[in-house]
Amino acid sequence: MSKINLVNKLLSGLHMTGHRVIEQIWRLGAGARLFFLTLTYSAESFRRPHLIVREMYFTGVMSLIIILVSAFFVGMVLALQGYNTLQKYGSSESIGVLVALALIRELGPVVTALLFAGRAGTAITAEIGLMKATEQLSAMEMMAVNPISRVIAPRFWAGVFSMPILVCLFSMVGVLGGHLVAVAQIGVDVGAFWSQMQANVEFADVTDMLIKSFVFGVACTIIALFEGYDAPPTAEGVSHATTRTVVTSALAVLGLDFILTSFMIVA
């Protein structure tokens, strides 16, 4: 009798694993389909650019304060920590290089994307999830308005356009924060700070930063949109979807960052 019990338990465990894997693959496929549908219907939303501008206000402008403040503090902390180690090797003049390269190559795109997922991604998911729960999306379909071209595509392009702008601002403000600590507080020479930075930061680093920010913008926005679009139309469903947006976006950003960086370092 106990033997049959054990077999049953094992079988149900296998059932659960299989079910979960199939569900994840289904979600991946559904997300990819939503992505391609968004791309195909985005021509319609480009004909009404004020929709994109409106969403850029909510995703870009409203994220500005959190992005700028955290950039300033990240830059300041980088300068403090970097100086602490670099002065042991007598090369505290390289502090500008350290701050600028760390911000432009890694921290700028990654931290901005993580903050963006937390600030704008969750808002998108909750909004679309609630639109679905209150049957606004079905109502649009009833009126022969395609919800993907009217709701999804403008938000997608707003996120994709906002992200590189936010990343540029993050890196620039971070460098200024590092400048404040290194030059004004610690007393590193201003000329050495900027000239070492200019000698070692390539324009290719800045373009790599833009490529990364574009990819992260696409990933974060489409994840937020899909989680909202796919959320069960209940209060609990929307709350779960919002949580999943943050978790999935963070993992996707960090994973993509490794892949992109490995290509950029080799190239």
Partner 1 sequence: MSRTTIDLWVGVLVVLGIAAFFGLAMKVGNLTTSSLGETYSVTAEFENIGGLKPRAPVKSAGVVVGRVDSITFNSKNYAAEVTIKIDQRYPFPTDTFANIYTAGLLGEQYIGLEAGGDDVDLKNGDKIAKTQDAIVLEKMISQFLFSKASETEDKNSKNEKDAVSDSGENAKSTELGDPPF
Number of residues that bind partner 1 (CB under 8 A): 31
Min separation Cβ 76 and partner 1, Å: 17
- Residue 177 touches partner 1, criterion: CB under 8 A: no
Selected binder of partner 1 within 61, 65, 184, 190 (CB under 8 A): 61
Q: Which is nearer to partner 1, 137 or 159 (CB)?
A: 159
Taking the CB of residue 235, how many other CB atoms lie within 10 A of it? Answer: 11
187: left (phi over 0), alpha (psi -120 to 50) or beta: left
189: left (phi over 0), alpha (psi -120 to 50) or beta: beta
- Residue 223 touches partner 1, criterion: CB under 8 A: no
CA–CA distance, 116 with 64 (Å, rounded to integer): 10
Within 14-43, the residues that bind partner 1 by CB under 8 A are none
Selected binder of partner 1 within 27, 31, 44, 64 (CB under 8 A): 64
Task: Quote the tokens at residue 191.
Answer: 């000329």
Q: Which one-letter amino acid corresponds to residue 177?
A: G
Neighbour-count burial for 158-189, b at 16+ CB within 10 Å, e otherwise:
bbbbbbbbbbbbbbbbbbebbbebbbeeeebe
CA–CA distance, 256 with 259 (Å, rounded to integer): 5
10 Å CB burial of residue 62 (0-12, 13-18, 19+) is middle
- Residue 194 touches partner 1, criterion: CB under 8 A: yes
Taking the CB of residue 7, how many other CB atoms lie within 10 A of it? Answer: 10
Residue 171, SS3? helix
Taking the CB of residue 29, how many other CB atoms lie within 10 A of it? Answer: 10
Per-residue binder mask for partner 1 (CB under 8 A), 136-175, x = binder: --------------------------x-xxx-xx-xxx-x
What angle, 0 to 180 degrees and rounded to 10, lies between the N-to-C axes of helices 2-46 and 49-59? Answer: 130
Min separation Cβ 62 and partner 1, Å: 9
- Residue 205 touches partner 1, criterion: CB under 8 A: yes
- Considering only 110-118, 120-128, 202-210, 246-254, which stretch makes contact with partner 1 by CB under 8 A? 202-210
Within 65-94, the residues that bind partner 1 by CB under 8 A are none
Min separation Cβ 136 and partner 1, Å: 20
Q: Which one-letter amino acid corresponds to residue 35?
A: F
- Considering only 9-17, 28-36, 194-202, 223-231, which stretch makes contact with partner 1 by CB under 8 A? 194-202
Q: Which is nearer to partner 1, 47 or 50 (CB)?
A: 50
Min separation Cβ 179 and partner 1, Å: 10
- Residue 109 touches partner 1, criterion: CB under 8 A: no
Selected binder of partner 1 within 60, 75, 129, 147 (CB under 8 A): 60
Which spans of this chain sit near partner 1 (rule: CB under 8 A)?
Answer: 50, 53-54, 56-57, 60-61, 64, 100, 104, 162, 164-166, 168-169, 171-173, 175, 194, 197-199, 201-203, 205-206, 209-210
